[in-house]
């Protein structure tokens, strides 16, 4: 049956493929295809893992029988019996093997796919006893995955042999954490849909950085879609179409080809300098999440990195934070990767929708207003000093700008400066080489936007984080899909804060950039140019579309118009008209 689910359009384009349902906690298993020749070896891995779990459980049972309190362990013994029975079940074994044999999934992926499929059947069962068996299956899958981890696949580590599978795959999940998204970057999926999330949730931001179509906030999408259904992600309209008819599918395939052609046309301006019709030079910088992202940045001729979101190095590590050496290597790789172009490294911004750990629940009442970004850094001086030392050392290898997120108070600025001096002192004591850095602050809290002159006394440059500025000015949680319709970059209050910040920086001759999603939205380019912005930082995938707008703009004509838009009651109407 064909049906569609409406959500938020967060990353443009069309993806057509078979649905792969994955629970967030299981996304970190490897997802790759094995070749026809490798199928037998992969099936063997699957059955070896099962056999080892059986042995483990039998050993446990034997141990129980030897203990004095045999009686007390009666229930546990019975449970082990159930688990052993499930492991021996032919149908369950064949179910997992199907994904390897027919779809060429690697063993780990086959196990989780099978689990997602049968978990649903269990959910629908009337009998509560049988419904509870779902958690037994989950535990058994975990045990087998653990065994598989100890025995790497003969094909693990090699690039996915995706040539062996023709059907593209689309990931459908209830939620994906930003850490999941990093796994996703190396995976085989061509698009994704989630039940939760908003336009500027970090999940959506990473999707845009990968330039893959995505729909978030589809509410019950992951409940309605079945494993292996054909789905279309319409990332422009924010729609997920399930089991489309042939006509609908053909229409979308046509649109997909159109998009490819359009992208091909944009590639022609890759080496054209970003200069407006009236000769104004504009700096187009890249937002990156990991050092390897410098490759796509350079491929679209970004003239530097305007935002390196370092928190992605810190997430999903079960509390074990990266030490100075690891961070130094990562920052140095980014700096060297840009071959002498400047790199703006932002100190860690975890908290709210970017938890350190996927499974760690944030018990604070209001995480977005809580201990995140610079607040967390200042409350963890040892961690903060480690990061500052690593960044300072990387600055010996190229031009580095050091950027601090979510700063709002003067005392925070003074503390930051103290910590920086301390980090330098520590490096001096160790006789370590480090380089100079320019200091910058994000303007992403209304309090900061309203006190720009104070910020300019202490910082060399500012960067406007419109995602958070909108969240905090309009009081809407950026990840809550139920208020996402209120998320409005063109609200007069936002435009006044952005315009005021740009104007103040220009008046004082200080560098000002925008690195929030607004900078990468081509429909905003003319307005930002008209307000005097000459430095835009965005995901590499957006750079050429924004450059195209710049090449067609004359800033002399935009100035008065932009001021009129800002002071209008209905800026969206003004822009459209
Ligand atoms: C922003 O808030 O606009 C920004 C660029 O930072 P992040 O999206 O990482 O919070
Ligand atoms: Mg922010």
Q: What's the CA gap between 11 and 5, in Å, rounded? A: 16
Work out which ligand 1 atom sits closest to the CA atom of 464.
Answer: 3
Answer whether CATH 3.90.1720.10 is correct for domain 1-246: no
Angle at CA of residue 234, ends 494 and 177, nearest 5°: 65
Which residues pair with residue 384 across a beta bridge? none
Distance from the alpha carbon of residue 271 to the mean position of ligand 2, in angstroms: 30
pLDDT at residue 24, as a whole number:
65
Distance from the alpha carbon of residue 406 to the mean position of ligand 2, in angstroms: 7
Q: What's the CA gap between 10 and 317, in Å, rounded? A: 27
Among 83, 104, 505, 515, the active-site one is: 515
How many CA atoms are closer than 13 Å to the CA of 540, on its beta-carbon side? 21
Distance from the alpha carbon of residue 309 to the mean position of ligand 2, in angstroms: 10
Active site residue 364: no
Residue nearest to atom 6 of ligand 1 (CA): 465
Q: How confident is the prediction along the chain (577 residues), in pLDDT tens digits per residue?
A: 889 999 988 888 999 999 988 876 677 788 888 999 999 999 999 999 999 999 988 988 888 777 655 665 677 788 888 889 999 999 889 999 999 999 899 999 999 999 988 887 887 777 777 777 888 888 899 889 888 887 555 444 443 444 346 789 999 988 887 777 777 776 788 999 998 888 888 778 878 888 889 999 888 888 889 889 999 999 989 999 999 999 999 999 999 999 999 888 999 999 999 999 999 999 999 999 999 999 999 999 999 999 999 999 998 777 789 999 999 999 999 999 999 999 999 999 988 777 887 656 566 778 899 999 999 999 999 999 999 999 999 999 999 999 999 999 999 999 999 999 999 999 999 999 999 999 999 999 999 999 999 999 999 999 999 999 999 999 999 888 788 889 999 999 999 999 999 999 999 999 999 999 999 999 999 999 999 999 999 999 999 999 999 999 999 999 999 999 999 999 998 888 7
Contact 527, 503 (CB under 8 A): no
Among 83, 202, 397, 539, the active-site one is: 202
Which of 200, 350, 465 for mutating ligand 1's site (highest number of atoms within 8 Å of CB)? 465
Could you tell me the two tokens for 261?
């052609």
pLDDT at residue 72, as a whole number:
58
Work out which ligand 1 atom sits closest to the CA atom of 467.
Answer: 3
- Running DSSP on this structure, what letter comes out for residue 371? S
pLDDT at residue 163, as a whole number:
38
Dihedral of CA atoms 297, 298, 302, 304 in degrees, nearest 10, equals 90
Work out which ligand 1 atom sits closest to the CA atom of 202.
Answer: 8
Distance from the alpha carbon of residue 518 to the mean position of ligand 1, in angstroms: 10
- CB contact set of 169 (below 8 Å; sequence gap of 6+): 17, 18, 19, 20, 188, 189, 190
Distance from the alpha carbon of residue 372 to the mean position of ligand 1, in angstroms: 12
Helical segments of 241-396, H only: 246-266, 294-299, 311-314, 324-337, 373-379, 381-394
Work out which ligand 1 atom sits closest to the CA atom of 516.
Answer: 3
- CB contact set of 575 (below 8 Å; sequence gap of 6+): 490, 523, 527, 565
pLDDT at residue 77, as a whole number:
82
pLDDT at residue 158, as a whole number:
43
Residue nearest to atom 1 of ligand 1 (CA): 465
Q: How far is CA 176 from CA 198, 294, 334, 356, 448, in A?
A: 12, 24, 26, 14, 31
Contact 233, 215 (CB under 8 A): yes
The candidate with the shortest Cα–Cα distance to 383, out of 350, 417, 334, is 350
With 0.75 as the threshold, say if the pTM is over it.
yes
Active site residue 202: yes
Q: Which CATH superfamily is domain 274-576 in?
A: Phosphoenolpyruvate-binding domains (3.20.20.60)
Edge-first strand order for the sheet with 169-173 is 3-6, 239-242, 230-234, 14-21, 169-173, 189-194, 214-216, 8-11
CB count within 10 Å of CB 411 equals 9
Spans of all domains in the chain: 1-246, 274-576
Distance from the alpha carbon of residue 7 to the mean position of ligand 2, in angstroms: 23
Residue nearest to atom 10 of ligand 1 (CA): 468
Q: What's the CA gap between 70 and 77, in Å, rounded? A: 9
Please give all residues whose beta carbon lies within 6 A of any atom in ligand 1, as ranges.
205, 307, 309, 349, 444, 465-468, 515-516
Q: What is the pairing mode between strands 239-242 and 230-234? A: antiparallel
Residue nearest to atom 9 of ligand 1 (CA): 309
Q: What's the CA gap between 330 and 288, in Å, rounded? A: 12
């Amino acid at each position: 049956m064909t049906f569609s689910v409406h959500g938020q359009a967060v990353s443009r384009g069309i993806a057509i493929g078979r649905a792969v349902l994955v629970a967030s906690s299981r996304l970190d298993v490897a997802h790759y295809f094995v070749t026809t020749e490798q199928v037998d070896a992969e099936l063997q891995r699957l059955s070896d893992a099962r056999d080892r779990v059986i042995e483990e459980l039998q050993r446990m049972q034997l141990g129980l029988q030897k203990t004095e309190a045999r009686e007390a362990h009666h229930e546990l013994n019975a449970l082990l019996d159930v688990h052993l029975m499930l492991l021996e079940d032919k149908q369950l074994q064949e179910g997992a093997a199907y994904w390897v044999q027919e779809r060429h999934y690697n063993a780990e992926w086959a196990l989780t796919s099978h689990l997602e499929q049968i978990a649903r059947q269990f959910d629908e069962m009337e009998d509560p006893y049988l419904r509870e068996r779902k958690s037994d299956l989950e535990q058994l899958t975990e045990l087998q995955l653990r065994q598989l981890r100890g025995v790497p696949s003969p094909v693990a580590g090699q690039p996915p042999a995706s040539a062996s599978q023709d059907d593209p795959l689309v990931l459908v999940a209830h939620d994906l954490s930003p850490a999941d998204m990093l796994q996703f970057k190396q995976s085989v999926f061509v698009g994704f849909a989630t039940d939760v999330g908003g336009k500027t949730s970090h999940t959506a931001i990473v999707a845009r950085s990968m330039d893959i179509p995505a729909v978030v906030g589809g509410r019950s999408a992951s409940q309605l879609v079945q494993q292996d259904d054909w789905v279309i992600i319409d990332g422009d309209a924010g729609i997920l179409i399930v089991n489309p008819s042939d006509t609908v599918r053909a229409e979308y395939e046509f649109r997909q080809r159109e998009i490819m052609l359009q992208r091909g046309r944009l590639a022609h301006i890759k080496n054209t300098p970003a200069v407006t019709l009236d000769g104004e030079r504009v700096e187009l910088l890249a937002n990156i999440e990991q050092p390897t992202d410098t490759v796509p940045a350079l491929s679209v001729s970004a003239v530097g990195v305007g935002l390196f979101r370092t928190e992605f190095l810190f997430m999903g590590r079960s509390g074990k934070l990266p030490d100075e050496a690891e961070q130094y290597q990562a920052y140095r790789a980014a700096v060297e990767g840009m071959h002498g172009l400047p790199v703006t490294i932002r100190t860690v911004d975890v908290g709210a929708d970017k938890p350190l750990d996927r499974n760690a629940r944030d018990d604070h009442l209001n995480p977005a207003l809580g201990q995140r970004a610079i607040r967390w850094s200042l409350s963890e001086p040892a961690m903060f000093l480690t990061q500052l030392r690593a960044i300072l050392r990387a600055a010996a290898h190229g031009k580095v700008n050091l950027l601090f997120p979510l700063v709002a108070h003067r005392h925070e600025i003074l503390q930051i400066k103290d910590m920086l001096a301390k980090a330098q002192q520590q490096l001096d004591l160790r006789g370590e080489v480090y380089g100079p850095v320019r200091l910058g602050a994000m303007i992403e809290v209304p309090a900061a936007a309203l006190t720009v002159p104070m910020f300019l006394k202490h910082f060399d440059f500012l960067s406007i984080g419109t995602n958070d500025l909108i969240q905090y000015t309009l009081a809407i949680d950026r990840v809550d899909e139920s208020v996402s319709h209120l998320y409005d970059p063109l609200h007069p209050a936002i435009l006044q804060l952005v315009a005021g910040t740009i104007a103040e920086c220009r008046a004082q001759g200080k560098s000002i950039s925008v690195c929030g999603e607004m900078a990468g939205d081509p429909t905003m380019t003319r307005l930002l140019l008209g307000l005097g912005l000459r430095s835009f930082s965005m995901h590499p995938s957006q750079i050429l579309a924004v450059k195209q707008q710049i090449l067609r703009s004359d800033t002399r004509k935009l100035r008065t118009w932009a001021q009129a838009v800002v002071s209008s009651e209905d800026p969206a109407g003004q822009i459209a008209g």
